[in-house]
Amino acid sequence: MKRRTFLKGAGVALLLPRMESLGQVSETDSPRRLLTIVNHLSFYQPELIPKADGAFEKTPPLLGELSDHLDHLKVFSGMDNPAVQNGFGHTPCVGILSGYFNKLHRRNRLSIDQAVADLIGDDTRFKSLVFQAGENLNFSQISWDKHGLPVKQIDSPRRIFNLLFQVDENEKAQQQVLAEDRSILDAVLAQARSMEKRLNATDRAKMDEYLTSVREVEQTVKRRAYWADRTRPHVNYEIEDFDRKSVDEYVGTLLDLAVLALETDSTRAVTVQIPFWEGFKEPDLSGNYHDLSHHGQKPEKIEKLLMLEHAILRRINASLSTMKERTVGNSSLFDQTTTLITASMGSANSHNFDDLPALVIDGRMKTTGHWRKKEAPMSNLYLGLLQLFGAEHDRFGESTGAFEVLS
Amino acid sequence: MMRLLCAMLLVGFLLPSTLRAEPKLKQFFIRNCVDCHGPERQKGKVRLDKPVDALLADYELLETIVALIEAGEMPPEEAPQPTTEAVAEVVQLLQKQILTQRPVNPLKRLTRAEYTNTMRDLFGVDFDFTGLLPPDHVERGFDKFGETQLMSPHYLMAYLKTARFIAQRVLPDVKPRTRTWEFDVRHFHGSKNFATGGGGDYRDGDDYVLTGFRPYRSNLHFSIDPDSHDQFVIPAFGVYRLEVKAHSEKSNEGEIIGINLGDGRHPTSFRMIRRIPMKHGSKGFTTELTLKAGDMLAFTFDSARVPGRSLEKKPHKGPAMRFSRMKVTGPLTEQWPTAAMQAILPKPNMKPRELVDHIALLLTQRPLLAEDRKAFVEIARTQEKSGASMTATARSVLIALLTSPHFIYKSESPELTDVERAHRLSYFLWNSAPDADLLEAARSGVLGEDPSAQVERMLKDVRAARFIDDFTRQWLQLDKVDDFGPDVRVFKNVRRMTVDSMEREGRELFRHLLESNLSMEHFIDSDFVMVNDRLARFYGLSAVDGDAFVPVKLPSESERGGLVAQAGFLKLTSTDFATSPIQRGSWILKNLYNERIEPPADVLINEPDIRGTTTVREAILKHQQLESCSRCHAKIDPLGFALEYYDPVGRKRSEYRHVDELPAELEETTFTKKLRITTMPIEATMTLPNGREVRDLPSLKAALMADKERILKGIIGKLISYAHGREVTGADRPHIDAVFASIAQEDFSLRAAIHAIVAHPAFGRK
């Protein structure tokens, strides 16, 4: 009731019928979702990628961690990121989800998770959520919006949880700000309209850009006001203060939160980046993850590195299984979700930015197995994914075609 | 209305002359052009067999035709040539046509720099809107061009947020409490405490020492609690005074400390906000900074840093900076209520309409029209009714007005009004809003009649430094000097502050010419350079003391002097390992000649990799053989090749050093990748389209000097286009020619050029 008056008062009655249904998935519905997982430091590929092309026969040990989902899984390997020309250290990794990155240009920097979120993110509290395990450093930014600007990657599990499920302490102040925003937008819109009348044709075209922008921002503010007025979903999940060091604790928590975000329909696109820089390790391991990734082909270092990679994939496997158990609308969360697991480098040991692997998991997949895509741009996979979500694009990043993901 | 009538009359008057011109042009085109640009062939996708009035309407095409015919580039050499008289006549006819078309100058919004400076001058607050306002996008020319300025929901949201940020800070409800924090070695932390770092900095007795050893890591930050590593966080927005006791050792020159914001435990999130040059023997420094809540302070030892990563495994022997104590005081309030509060709310009780009118006038010096005012008054009224304080009401109005087109767009009538002219002038020379003095001069009509006194006053004002910064940064692309490398494995000993000094040289030359009333010819060549201590050493000149730039006379054998001999230019046109003659040549054409050079849109450019080939010239010369490329590359390549004796960081070289990065061997990691360096001879000699041979830097400068008129006019064009916020076109020729003619009497003085630009009637047109 309160919401209705609020919206009416704001003169947006037209918006109401559509928004009325937001916030819960109806029993007959089965919305599409995307879970993107990026492992910055990649995987030790000899243990991940099957030797042979085609259907899985012998699964390498790392891939074996996902054994519960092999009947819905495709492995792509050997892909290129043609965008990476100049870069230093880890910097080129910022372009992994864009399939294009040139630090001098902002156009075309849109990342695949955001491209998909633009298609499926209208009806939820958050268009997308991007989680960053580990400190967000300037080369860990992987999510870019359509303006080429960085999307906030949240690194604290506590903050993610609060964002999703806790009442915002500043909510009252926030609502006041939103109300003020709306009257300000009204005022500037009126002034722009009145000013526009006095302008010549070229100037009017400029003012039109302003007017269009105001109207779009109005929609955003309305959407925020709408959601600010609704209580957040309640979940039975306790988030504990933990030692950030272990895969189970840190990656596990982030993946749990990702699944919860999807399950409560808080968003339909979640991106998780696995930590890589600060001391991320298992309690019984010496050496941290980044250090181990520069294994120099030393067997004892590779062995330790593999312990971490196994732990990461085991956690992903567990989350995928959880998604099979949870029902939202008329199907399981797993059925609704396309999962992309990828890596920013072919090998973190030598900082090789080509030879990239990607795993796609989708309940609708007809054939499974391994596809070696030697030197095909990573963007071809992204374009294939984008088209799965109903995009009419025929290009993404540096794509030269689109992979068939489901067939 | 009167103006409109005049314009119509003008068109009516010009029409017959166009008609008279038509047959002549048609004849010329048929005779000289249509073979290649007609029904049979459409070279360059251009057809000139269309009706002449259609051609004349295509403004850009017209400009290209005139430029090419005039330069003798069309018809091409191998084709039969029209007589000089025929060319002159056609050029004149076309030129006349161009002059009738006033270039479009679409509505411009304030750039981030303009916005920041305007706030600084209106409210006396040194805001930094990095992270709030998006950076302005410059594809070519200047960020002041209305045509290329973007407006999007993202921008609008940023304006709204920035406005709220400003309003909350200039109109606080209560006076902030000033506090003091003192830090000594017990509260100091460096990278040694950082989990994965360590090495280059350490505690030594009562001091904490920074060295250049691990350049990415080495920093000093502070905690309030000696036992915790939680960094000291600035509690509230305001001005903070930093008093720092520090000195350098193992150094015999001035050193430089960088002040950074961000989490010192993760130095990659740093943002440099200020560099403090410390004179040799200095015992510390005091500085004031405007900081916001949440900012965290850290110091870096910038003059010791080497760009890229340090590969040194040996203990560090270079200079060190010892920090003993720091005292932070703030936020400082000089008076209460602040000047900004008094400016925004001069009286305790203002009626909604009065308040809106007052703030609108304060922000733009233009009254808000009654029809535009209503919605803003409504905001004030609603606030008033809800019982909000006067300050809160003023805040809301301020946010709304700062977000409105009234503030963020610059108003310009076809013939600028006096106030608009004052705005154009002040955004030109101060990159900010006009002050009371300038507005007074505008309103009294003095500015329109003779602006020289105001221009002189403005150039002497400290605010002129903003023009020098902003103009040279964009004109010379100084912000791109550090975009690439150099790779420390090849260019050892090129230190961070050397690169930083390179970035400043072009600006300093401009400043010196402007301040000392010197000739613009010095941009082409000069017998002195502007250097500081580090750059003097880099160039191998006699020692200069300190970080400030001073003119130093060049020894007679030196090739330096002029923009094209500056290391900054030579570096910004190179990549990590290799120089790019094409980049260098096109930079000269674009920025000195003010030519429009653009890579053809439909051609995928694969610049020949001159590192990998033994036939550097052959690879690039291919451009000149392909017809589609040759028109531009015949001009570009000789200019660039003449500079091949200067390496990617602008040092003289006698041979190419071709660098291969070898793949990591099995037992190695990326950090041990090896480089293979092979050398190749340089062959730089080429012939310019005008037949003149250039073979090295001195002969290139001689060739440029021979083209002095074109280059100086090019630079004048750059200044005009910066001032007007649009590309200069053929229609600006009278303006440029008049400025050139006037400064020719005054030894081509840069200062005189600026006076002449402003004094010309064209300065008062949209």
The string of pLDDT tens digits covering residues B317-357 is 678 899 999 999 999 988 899 999 999 999 988 999 999 99
| From B106, B666, B668, residue closest to A202, measured CB to CB | B106
For chain B, the average pLDDT equals: 86
For testing the chain B interface, which of A103, A146, A191, A351 should be mutated: the one with the most B CBs within 10 Å?
Answer: A191
A35: β partners: A270, A339
| Min Cα–Cα distance to chain A from B687, Å | 33
A5 touches chain B (CB under 8 A): no
User: Angle B627-641/B581-591 helices, nearest 10 degrees?
Assistant: 90
The pLDDT value given to residue B442: 96
Categorize the per-residue pLDDT at B741 as very low, low, confident or very high, splitting at 50, 70 and 90: very high
Instruction: Mean pLDDT check: name the lowest of A78-92, B3-17, B208-222.
Output: B3-17
DSSP three-state, residue B24: helix
pLDDT: which is higher, B642 or B149 = B642
Residue of A nearest to B577 (CA): A86
The pLDDT value given to residue B198: 47
Q: Span A301-309, mean pLDDT?
A: 90
Predicted TM-score (pTM) of this structure? 0.82
Residue A250 predicted with pLDDT over 50: yes
What tokens appear for A294 in the block? 């520069």
What is the distance between the alpha carbons of residues B341 and B346, in angstroms, rounded to a whole number? Answer: 8
| From B107, B372, B378, residue closest to A194, measured CB to CB | B372
Report cis status (omega within 30 of 0) of the bond before B226: no
Report cis status (omega within 30 of 0) of the bond before B486: yes
Residue A239 predicted with pLDDT over 90: no
What is the distance between the alpha carbons of residues A62 and A46, in angstroms, rounded to a whole number? Answer: 9
Contact B152 A89 (CB under 8 A): no
% of chain A beyond a pLDDT of 90? 47
Residue B307 predicted with pLDDT over 70: no
The pLDDT value given to residue B323: 96
The pLDDT value given to residue B83: 85
Instruction: Mean pLDDT check: name the lowest of A29-38, A288-297, A394-403, B236-245.
Output: A288-297
What backbone phi and psi angles, to 5 degrees, belong to B604? -80, 120
Instruction: Mean pLDDT check: name the lowest of A242-246, A329-333, B472-476, B569-573.
Output: A242-246
| Min Cα–Cα distance to chain A from B297, Å | 17
pLDDT: which is higher, B738 or B20 = B738
For testing the chain A interface, which of B1, B150, B151 should be mutated: the one with the most A CBs within 10 Å?
Answer: B151
What is the distance between the alpha carbons of residues A311 and A282, in angstroms, rounded to a whole number? Answer: 9
| Min Cα–Cα distance to chain B from A287, Å | 10
Residue of A nearest to B393 (CA): A180
Closest CA to B644 of B630, B627, B658, B624: B658
Instruction: Mean pLDDT check: name the lowest of A252-256, B195-199, B390-394.
Output: B195-199
| From B369, B376, B667, residue closest to A187, measured CB to CB | B376
The pLDDT value given to residue B713: 97
Residue B150 predicted with pLDDT over 60: yes
Centroid of chain to Cα B572: 13
The pLDDT value given to residue B355: 97
The pLDDT value given to residue B599: 64
What tokens appear for A286 in the block? 């010496």
Kindly list the distances between the CA atom of residue A310 and the CA atoms of A56, A87, A305, A316, B352, in Å, as whole numbers in the listed order: 19, 29, 9, 10, 67
pLDDT digits (tens, 9 = 90+) for B437-496: 999 999 999 999 999 999 999 999 999 999 999 999 999 998 888 777 677 677 777 878
The pLDDT value given to residue A136: 63
- Apex CA B299: angle with CA B294 and CA B302, to 5°? 135
Contact B670 A351 (CB under 8 A): yes
Categorize the per-residue pLDDT at B613 as very low, low, confident or very high, splitting at 50, 70 and 90: very low
Contact A192 B405 (CB under 8 A): yes
The pLDDT value given to residue B653: 92
Kindly list the distances between the CA atom of residue A234 and the CA atoms of A122, A231, A270, B649, in Å, as whole numbers in the listed order: 22, 9, 19, 60
Chain A 326-355, residues with CB within 8 Å of chain B CB atoms? 349-351
pLDDT digits (tens, 9 = 90+) for B251-263: 888 999 999 998 8
Categorize the per-residue pLDDT at A277 as very low, low, confident or very high, splitting at 50, 70 and 90: low
| Min Cα–Cα distance to chain A from B378, Å | 8
State the ipTM, two decimals. 0.84
pLDDT digits (tens, 9 = 90+) for B499-551: 899 999 999 999 999 999 999 999 999 999 999 999 999 999 999 999 999 99
CB atoms within 10 A of CB B747: 12
Instruction: Mean pLDDT check: name the lowest of A134-143, B177-186, B431-440, B685-694.
Output: A134-143
The pLDDT value given to residue B630: 76
What is the distance between the alpha carbons of residues A349 and A292, in angstroms, rounded to a whole number? Answer: 9
In this structure, is the dihedral angle defined by the CA atoms of residues A218, A222, A228 and A234, taken in order, positive or negative?
Answer: negative
Residue B647 predicted with pLDDT over 50: yes
Categorize the per-residue pLDDT at A14 as very low, low, confident or very high, splitting at 50, 70 and 90: very low
- In this structure, are residues B481 and B571 in contact, taking their beta carbons and an 8 Å threshold? yes
| Min Cα–Cα distance to chain B from A349, Å | 5
- Name the one residue in this structure whose structure tokens are 């012998």: A58
Range from B210-219, B238-247, B294-303 that averages highest in pLDDT: B238-247
| From A206, A278, A294, residue closest to B669, measured CB to CB | A294
| From B196, B268, B484, residue closest to A279, measured CB to CB | B196
| Min Cα–Cα distance to chain B from A357, Å | 19
What is the distance between the alpha carbons of residues A114 and B33, in angstroms, rounded to a whole number? Answer: 51
Instruction: Mean pLDDT check: name the lowest of B80-94, B483-497, B663-677, B740-754.
Output: B663-677
| Min Cα–Cα distance to chain A from B45, Å | 27
Cβ contacts (< 8 Å) between A350 and chain B: which residues?
663-664, 668-670, 673
Q: Span A64-75, mean pLDDT?
A: 95
A183 touches chain B (CB under 8 A): yes
Categorize the per-residue pLDDT at A264 as very low, low, confident or very high, splitting at 50, 70 and 90: very high
What is the distance between the alpha carbons of residues B385 and B378, in angstroms, rounded to a whole number? Answer: 10
pLDDT digits (tens, 9 = 90+) for A85-135: 545 567 778 888 987 655 445 556 899 999 999 999 988 999 999 998 776
% of chain A beyond a pLDDT of 70? 86
Closest CA to B457 of B426, B417, B485: B426
CB atoms within 10 A of CB B631: 16
pLDDT digits (tens, 9 = 90+) for A326-376: 999 899 999 999 999 999 888 887 777 788 999 999 999 999 999 999 889
Chain A 102-121, residues with CB within 8 Å of chain B CB atoms? 103-104, 106
For testing the chain B interface, which of A185, A210, A245, A292 should be mutated: the one with the most B CBs within 10 Å?
Answer: A210
Instruction: Mean pLDDT check: name the lowest of B121-135, B182-196, B723-737.
Output: B182-196
What is the DSSP code string of A218-234? Answer: HHHHHHHHHHHTSPPPP
The pLDDT value given to residue A137: 65
pLDDT digits (tens, 9 = 90+) for A137-183: 667 888 988 877 788 888 888 889 988 998 777 777 888 889 999 99
A12 touches chain B (CB under 8 A): no
Contact B309 A89 (CB under 8 A): yes
A203 touches chain B (CB under 8 A): yes
Radius of gyration from C-alpha coordinates of chain B = 29
Contact A220 B153 (CB under 8 A): yes
Residue B276 predicted with pLDDT over 90: yes
What tokens appear for B202 in the block? 């350490």
H or E, element range at B289: strand B284-291
Residue A63 predicted with pLDDT over 70: yes
Residue A242 predicted with pLDDT over 80: no
| Min Cα–Cα distance to chain B from A275, Å | 14
Max alpha carbon distance in chain A (Å)?
75
Residue A381 predicted with pLDDT over 80: yes
Cβ contacts (< 8 Å) between A290 and chain B: which residues?
196
Cβ contacts (< 8 Å) between B400 and chain A: which residues?
183-184, 187-188
